[in-house]
Amino acid sequence: METDNPIEALEVPENTMIEMIKVSRTYVPDITALSDISLTVDTGEMFFLIGRSGAGKTTLLKLICNMEVPSNGLIEVAGYNINNLKGKRLAHLRQKIGVAYQDFKLLDDRTVAENVAIAMEVSYKNPQAIRQTVRDLLEQLQLTDKHNTITGELSRGEQQRVALARAVANSPRLILVDEPTGNLDANTTERVMNLLNRRNKSGATIVIATHDPTIYQKGNHRILELRDGQIHSLTRSNGS
Amino acid sequence: MNFWLAVFRQAGRNLRQTWASQLMTFLTVSLSVLIFAFFYLVYTNTIGASDRLSEDIRLIVYLEEEPGTAMQEQLLRKINNFDKTEEIRFISKADAYKRFAEQLGDDSDVLADMPKDFLPASIEVIPLKGLRGFNQIKLFSEYLTQLPGSEKVQYGQEWMERFYYFTQLLTIVVLLSGTLLILTATFMVAYTIRLTIMGRHDELELLKLVGATNSYIRTPFLLEGILQGFMGSIIGLTALYALFRWISIHFSGPGLLNLFHFTFLQPIIVISIVFISIGLCTLGSFTSIQKFLKI
Ligand SMILES: Nc1ncnc2c1ncn2[C@@H]1O[C@H](COP(=O)(O)OP(=O)(O)OP(=O)(O)O)[C@@H](O)[C@H]1O
Ligand SMILES: [Mg+2]
């Protein structure tokens, strides 16, 4: 269903956040990163993507946030065909999607606070609110003492948390997290998951790509396993 | 409100990060404004002087002999046939003698031994105001040479010719320096902005990813262009004004330069130059940033 018109978009069932139909992504010359993925993620769901390295998890997340375009198939986010969106519409949708990239994409020459603030600045939040949110987030992620540190000087685990803070800072409706706990100890991992769970409880849809069984085995979530770019299994965790 | 806050902060960062090339661009823009405005100033002053000179333009037709009344009327008709004139005056031999004597003043006794008709009779033709292009005067004089009884026609040919070619040359120089201004302003600014964009590619990419609108990304760069154009033209024009003051103080007074009543560029021209250079610089930065946004 092509919905470029926001009025039409409202008619799409509100409870579907991501809809992928037969999506493929190939890279030149002949690498098939994803093939024939069909998938629905409900609004408010916390959804896990697992699979070995190179299975296509990152590619899938990049397709959802329109950083990459699919070679084939249809992707709708919040009822919008995300690949038909341009200019202002695309920008506004992206403001509602928070992404923590696997490679962080932090600005290494800026402070931690500035990096976290960027996501809010582009949607013209007022400076005072921005400062407050940044402080709160850094505290939740145990980065308070790094507030004014240049991001390039942080450890990878710290950078990872800064990336996460930036992803959730603007209170996005959809949060995509790529490998959020790869460099973290158990305690910090739990803090990160607590933060994400809180966001999930307050209504955000969250998709997490991970290798870390400890975070997806708890709780009651759907887990999609990719293998060589294809859906291997879709299961539900029934942990404590 | 917050939009402008963000824009100014971003523009400030750009300036801080690439101030050296910004400074170069700014100097280049000032210099080209200075060069262009300088030639334009010379041009307008020359045109002014040439207008003032041509107020006094008269063609003097020397006649072989004193024309009778009938002859005078015939000549009048012929001259007016070619073109309307401001005034036509006949000067008899006696008149010419009298004028010459007046011009000599106290020395007029040297004329005492000369016959009163040793100067030729002549006709003074003052052409119409509108008809004063160099080529028209030339044609007119050629026509007057062919009048019956005309010996020769004088109007300061050589001088006028030189002046004419000088203004022609100036026109070309003004056009060239105008082109220079356009090129430097547009391309230098486009180039510095492209440099800034390349230096901050990661950041701008990230801004797009977190949902910055195109205008959020574009406006700081446009602002830079506006700033470059504004500052560049103001400094260029100020330098020209200083130069102008210096020249008019040091070169006014008696002499040929008196011909030039130096006047500075009119306010409307000054304002136009400022706005045009702002426009060009903004255009330069716009094309650069637009290229980036399209990717
Ligand atoms: N820009 C690219 N050009 C070519 N091939 C690519 C590109 N991006 C990804 N690939 C390939 O697509 C496949 C899937 O990559 P992807 O990054 O999605 O894996 P992943 O599941 O995220 O792996 P990891 O767990 O290591 O992060 C890999 O084989 C990778 O080499
Ligand atoms: Mg990955």
Cα A45 to ligand 2 centroid, rounded to whole Å: 21
Residue A128: its H or E element: helix A127-140
Cα B106 to ligand 2 centroid, rounded to whole Å: 108
Flag whether pLDDT at A232 surpasses 80.
yes
Of A99, A125, A170, the CB nearest to B209: A99
**CB contact (8 A) between residue A107 and residue B203:** yes
Q: Does B295 touch chain A (CB under 8 A)?
A: no
> Packing angle between helix B267-294 and helix B214-251, nearest 10 degrees?
150
Q: In whole angstroms, give the CA distance from residue A103 to residue A232.
A: 25
Cα B154 to ligand 1 centroid, rounded to whole Å: 91
| Residue B107 near residue B121, CB atoms below 8 Å | no
**CB contact (8 A) between residue A88 and residue B213:** yes
Reported confidence tier of residue A236, pLDDT bands at 50, 70, 90? confident
Q: Is A181 helix (H, G, I), strand (E, B) or coil?
A: coil
Q: In whole angstroms, give the CA distance from residue A99 to residue A179.
A: 11
**CB contact (8 A) between residue A91 and residue B212:** yes
Pick the range with the lowest mean pLDDT from A103-107, A133-137, B26-30, B165-169.
B165-169
Q: Is A197 helix (H, G, I), strand (E, B) or coil?
A: helix
B6 vs A contacts (CB less than 8 Å): 121-122, 124
Locate B143 and state its tokens.
């026509």
Residue nearest to atom 13 of ligand 1 (CA): A33
A8, A10, A14, A19 alpha-carbon torsion, rounded to 10°: 40
B8 vs A contacts (CB less than 8 Å): none
Residue nearest to atom 17 of ligand 1 (CA): A58
Residue nearest to atom 28 of ligand 1 (CA): A54
Reported confidence tier of residue A12, pLDDT bands at 50, 70, 90? very low
Which domains occur in chain B, in start order? 2-53+165-292 (no CATH), 58-154 (3.30.70.3040)
Shortest CA gap A87–chain B (Å): 7
Give A146's DSSP letter. G
Q: Listing from the earlier edge strand, what are the strands of the sheet with A16-27?
A: A31-42, A16-27, A72-77, A80-81
Q: Which residues of B23-48 are buried (b: 16+ CB within 10 A; e: fewer)?
A: eebbebbbbbbbbbbbbbbebbbbee
| Residue A224 near residue A65, CB atoms below 8 Å | no
Q: In whole angstroms, give the CA distance from residue A50 to residue A225.
A: 5
**CB contact (8 A) between residue A94 and residue B209:** yes
Q: In whole angstroms, give the CA distance from residue B2 to residue B5.
A: 5
Cα B246 to ligand 2 centroid, rounded to whole Å: 70
**CB contact (8 A) between residue A105 and residue B209:** yes
| Residue A36 near residue A50, CB atoms below 8 Å | no
Give the pLDDT of residue B295. 63
Residues in CB range of B151: below 8 A, 6 or more apart:
B62, B63, B64, B120
Distances in Å between the Cα of A191 and the Cα atoms of A98, A132, A194 are 18, 19, 5
Q: In whole angstroms, give the CA distance from residue A16 to residue A64.
A: 13
Q: In whole angstroms, give the CA distance from residue B37 to residue B275.
A: 13
| Residue A57 near residue A226, CB atoms below 8 Å | yes
Per residue of chain B (295 residues), give pLDDT as tens.
577 888 888 888 888 878 888 888 888 889 888 988 888 888 888 887 777 777 677 788 888 888 788 888 888 888 887 777 778 888 888 888 888 888 887 777 777 777 777 888 888 888 776 655 677 778 888 888 888 877 888 877 777 778 778 888 888 888 888 888 788 878 888 888 888 888 888 888 899 999 988 888 889 889 988 988 899 999 999 999 998 888 888 776 655 555 556 788 888 989 999 999 899 889 988 998 888 887 6
Locate A11 and state its tokens.
């008619």
Each residue's pLDDT tens digit, A22-53 = 999 999 888 888 999 999 999 999 999 999 99
Give the pLDDT of residue A62. 93
Cα A54 to ligand 1 centroid, rounded to whole Å: 5
| Ligand in closest contact with the CA of A56 | 1
Query: What is the residue extent of each domain of chain A?
Result: 43-66+86-236
Q: Which residue, among A236, A212, A209, A184, has the nearest Cα to A59 in the 3D structure?
A: A209
Give A31's DSSP letter. E
ipTM: 0.86
pTM: 0.75
**CB contact (8 A) between residue A124 and residue B2:** yes
Q: In whole angstroms, give the CA distance from residue A205 to residue A19.
A: 13
Q: Which residue, among B270, B227, B263, has the nearest Cα to B37 in the 3D structure?
A: B270
Locate A52 and state its tokens.
């070995």
**CB contact (8 A) between residue B214 and residue A91:** yes
Q: Which residue, among A66, A59, A70, A99, has the nearest Cα to A82 in the 3D structure?
A: A66
**A27 Cα nearest atom in ligand 1:** 4
Domain formed by A43-66+86-236, architecture: 3-Layer(aba) Sandwich (3.40)
3-state secondary structure chain B: CHHHHHHHHHHHHHHHHCHHHHHHHHHHHHHHHHHHHHHHHHHHHHHHHHHHHHHCCCEEEEECCCCCHHHHHHHHHHHHHHCCEEEEEEECHHHHHHHHHHHHHHHHHHHHHCCCCCCCCEEEEEECCCCCCHHHHHHHHHHHHCCCCEEEEECCHHHHHHHHHHHHHHHHHHHHHHHHHHHHHHHHHHHHHHHHHHHCHHHHHHHHHCCCCHHHHHHHHHHHHHHHHHHHHHHHHHHHHHHHHHHHHHHCCCCHHHHCCCCCCCHHHHHHHHHHHHHHHHHHHHHHHHHHHHC
Residues with CB under 5 A from ligand 2 (ion): A 57-58, 102
Report the residue of A63, A122, A131 to disrupt the B interface, i.e. the one with the largest count of B CBs within 10 Å. Answer: A122
Shortest CA gap A238–chain B (Å): 34
Residue nearest to atom 18 of ligand 1 (CA): A56
Q: Which residue of B has its CA nearest to A100?
A: B210
Assess whether the C-beta atom of A27 lies below 6 angstroms from ligand 1.
yes
Q: In whole angstroms, give the CA distance from residue A20 to residue B40.
A: 65
Q: In whole angstroms, give the CA distance from residue B152 to residue B244.
A: 42
Give the pLDDT of residue B252. 65
| Residue B192 near residue B22, CB atoms below 8 Å | yes
| Residue A19 near residue A65, CB atoms below 8 Å | no
Q: Which residue, among B186, B80, B58, has the nearest Cα to B124 in the 3D structure?
A: B58
Give the pLDDT of residue A224. 92
Give the pLDDT of residue A50. 92
CB B70: neighbour CB atoms within 10 A?
8
